[in-house]
Amino acid sequence: MVSLSEYELDVARKRLGRDPSPVEVKVIDALWSEHCSYKSSKIFLRSFPSEGPRVVMGIEDWQDAGAVDIGDGYAIVLKVESHNHPSAVDPFNGAATGVGGIIRDIISKGATPIALLDMIRVGELKDDKNKWLLKNIIAGIGFYGNSIGIPVVGGELSFDESFSDNPLVDVACVGIVKKDKIKPSVVKEPGLKLVLVGLTGIDGLGGASFASRKLSGENEIGAVQIADPFAGKIVMDVTLEIADKVEAIKDLGGGGLAVAVTEMANGLGARVYVDKVPLRVKDMSPEDIIISETQERMLFAVREENVEYVCKAFEYYEYPCAVIGEVTSDSFIRFIYEGKEIASLPSQLLLSPPLYAWPIREKARKINVKPNVELEQAVRSVLAHPDLASKEWAYSQFDYEVGTSTVVKPGEADSAVVSLPNGKLLAIKGDANPDLCAEDAYECGKAIFAEAYRNLAVVGARGIAAVDHLQFGDPKKPEIYSDFVDAVRGIGEAARFFSIPIVGGKVSFYNENKKGVAIKPTPLVVMAGLVEGKLLKPKVEEGSLVLIGYTRNEMRGSLFAKLFGPYGEVPKARLQEDYLASEVVLDLINQGTILFAKDVNRGGLMGSLMAILSKGYSAKVDPDRILGTDDLMAKLFSENGGRFIVITNSPESVVERAKRRGTIASVIGEVKKGNYLEIGSWKLNVKKEVEHHSNYLEVEMSD
């Protein structure tokens, strides 16, 4: 099955001046798939800021990952990808191969992978299928990361009915490389030999096309690749060993050889001898060899005198290595099988698909009605929500300390922190907010970028680079496309405000269930930053509780609104407040003034307090001291940005520092040992909620 429309086939015919052969149709389909071409998104993605003084390699055509200078001759390489459709069909292999693919993207830059993040969204666990999906997604991620020896240091796990049938499995990876050793994924001269390592099989056939249409449930298992982390370990180690001897490196991902060869040629031509490709399965058809997405394969552009060196390094491990062709100057991509040319297509045709800007239409907003809910019901319901539960059941299945570089571990803070070879500390975090994006994708785009920035600040880091992943339903549906355009606009605006370049990303459309119902719009931002002064490992202790920033009656898109119905206004991302509040936190960390810091996001103030309550402490809050709105529910549950809670023994210093930075802070209560939450004169024993927080996933997934 191909995803090309009749219009696109007609465009191809006109440009070629003839009918493409069946093999050529599959090659065009792979290159023009939404997954590989970004044909419905590229014109908007160009608005992202991608340059800056630290950027070594940004959003360039056909580069597999972005690179950012971190000083002392080093650069980090950053990338985010997803394996949503494969994980919906075969969650174990779908998730595992997502990890393998992102690792190969990093090593294609000559960089050593040092950390992984996983951001997972599934349907509610009352459904047995969702339990099955989650259990196998976690197992697949752990299987690959643990086996290959790269720590999974952080991530997200949240639940919503819109992700039933179509889970979201995002994986990000960070690598480290000497700046002068970064490898391109494209070539600039003809005559180089194309060297392929690894075996090609029948798994992953048409995967790029599969990812570019909605799930049907019919005969889709063949589009899912099979994971082999032990082969992946060989590929990683040897690729890094021979990187100095090659001119370009390309991972074989979506579209297989068809895409890898064409993108590596970068407007030049290539001649590929399909029958020289090492096969895992006998008697594969040439078109299947060309589009297979079998994992653990890499393509190298190599000078002839270095071919023997490269192949010997792989053959030492009995890993297949073969010269399958060469780069040519005639700007045609040619596939030859048993002496016969079975495909001959202009590079520019393959690299220039039709680009689309689909109609847009804003969604009608649900009626705004303030729910009639008692305080105790609201507090108990929010604190017990699965999104706020401990994720230890998941991250305990990952070896997050392998490599001995993990400094702040999963569950310890809002961001993970790893040590780098130059002695610096790198913080990384991924953030999304589907509920807010379903209300207002523009404000959501700004908000998730700002949240990532705040999450880095709580450990003492300042953001330096970001990548994004934009996940939506069918772009041809006007309301869905409107959300996509608005999210891009919001993310771009925030990136420009914070002067943080977006050095890479991904777009995933057609995320819908089998009934054609789309997921909630889920743009995701992964941000990396450097600890510039002191590192804070947030530690809950007795002390004064201080809230930094203004609280507003902006309840739309909040967890409270999800549980009890929409009311209030959509949170407006006031980026200046996010920046100023983050500067206050950074100042306080470097002064050694605070013991604990957490930004206010999911669940509002109550959600943030759960990080304190779950450690065996009580929190006493005076709502009259919360500055901003007079609405009690908004004071407790609003998720507007620009806010942090901190624990300190010097509350006056915190308030004064905020004032100097041009924002506000107020002492709203205190933290002591115990099991209580006090809000004014109201007091609640939260032992039951804390136990639920600690045990929820373990209990649910033990069935």
Task: Point out the annotated binding site for Mg(2+).
Answer: 81, 105, 251
DSSP state of 507: E
Each residue's pLDDT tens digit, 448-469: 999 999 999 999 999 999 999 9
Give the number of C-alpha atoms closer than 13 A to the C-alpha of residue 519, restricted to the C-beta side. Answer: 32
What distance in Å separates the CA atoms of residue 100 and residue 296, rounded to the nearest whole number?
7
Domain of 597, CATH number, reads 3.90.650.10
pLDDT at 64: 74
| Helix (H) / strand (E) containing 121 | strand 112-122
Average pLDDT of 10-17?
96
Each residue's pLDDT tens digit, 205-240: 654 444 444 554 554 444 567 888 999 999 999 999
What distance in Å separates the CA atoms of residue 690 and residue 616, rounded to the nearest whole number?
8
Is the pLDDT at 53 greater than 70, yes or no?
yes
What distance in Å separates the CA atoms of residue 107 and residue 18, rounded to the nearest whole number?
40
Strands 594-599 and 665-673: unpaired
DSSP state of 628: B
Strand-by-strand arrangement of the 55-57 sheet: 55-57, 66-71, 74-82, 168-178, 112-122, 152-159
| Catalytic residue ranges | 35, 83
Task: Point out the annotated binding site.
Answer: 38, 79, 81-85, 104-105, 225, 251, 468, 505, 508
The number of distinct structural domains making up the chain is 1
CB 699 within 8 A of CB 389: no
pLDDT at 89: 87
- By residue range, what is the domain housing residue 698? 538-703
pLDDT at 395: 92
Amino acid in the structure at residue 494 = A
The reply to whether the predicted model has a pTM over 0.85 is yes
Q: Considering the domain boundaries, does residue 267 fall inside one? A: no
- From residue 19, alpha-carbon distances to 9, 25, 355, 430 in Å are 9, 9, 21, 45
Q: Which three-class secondary structure state does DSSP give residue 302? A: strand
Task: Point out the annotated binding site for substrate.
Answer: 82-85, 104, 225, 508
* pLDDT tier, 703 (very low <50, low <70, confident <90, very high otherwise): low
Is the pLDDT at 331 greater than 90, yes or no?
yes
Each residue's pLDDT tens digit, 20-38: 999 999 999 999 999 899 9
pLDDT at 61: 57
Average pLDDT of 616-645?
96
Each residue's pLDDT tens digit, 75-134: 999 999 998 888 988 899 999 999 999 999 999 999 999 999 999 999 999 999 999 999
What distance in Å separates the CA atoms of residue 407 and residue 417, rounded to the nearest whole number?
5
> How many Å is the maximal CA-CA distance in the chain?
86
Q: Considering the domain boundaries, does residue 89 fall inside one? A: no
pLDDT at 170: 95
pLDDT at 59: 76
Is the pLDDT at 294 greater than 50, yes or no?
yes
Is the pLDDT at 378 greater than 60, yes or no?
yes
Q: Considering the domain boundaries, does residue 662 fall inside one? A: yes
What distance in Å separates the CA atoms of residue 557 and residue 581, rounded to the nearest whole number?
22
* Orientation of helix 22-32 relative to helix 256-265, angle to 10°: 70
Mean pLDDT estimate for the chain: 93
Strands 676-679 and 617-621: parallel
Cα-to-chain-centroid distance, residue 84: 11
Is the pLDDT at 531 greater than 70, yes or no?
yes
Average pLDDT of 496-516?
93
Task: Point out the annotated binding site for ATP.
Answer: 38, 79, 468, 505
Each residue's pLDDT tens digit, 180-207: 999 999 999 999 999 999 999 987 565 4
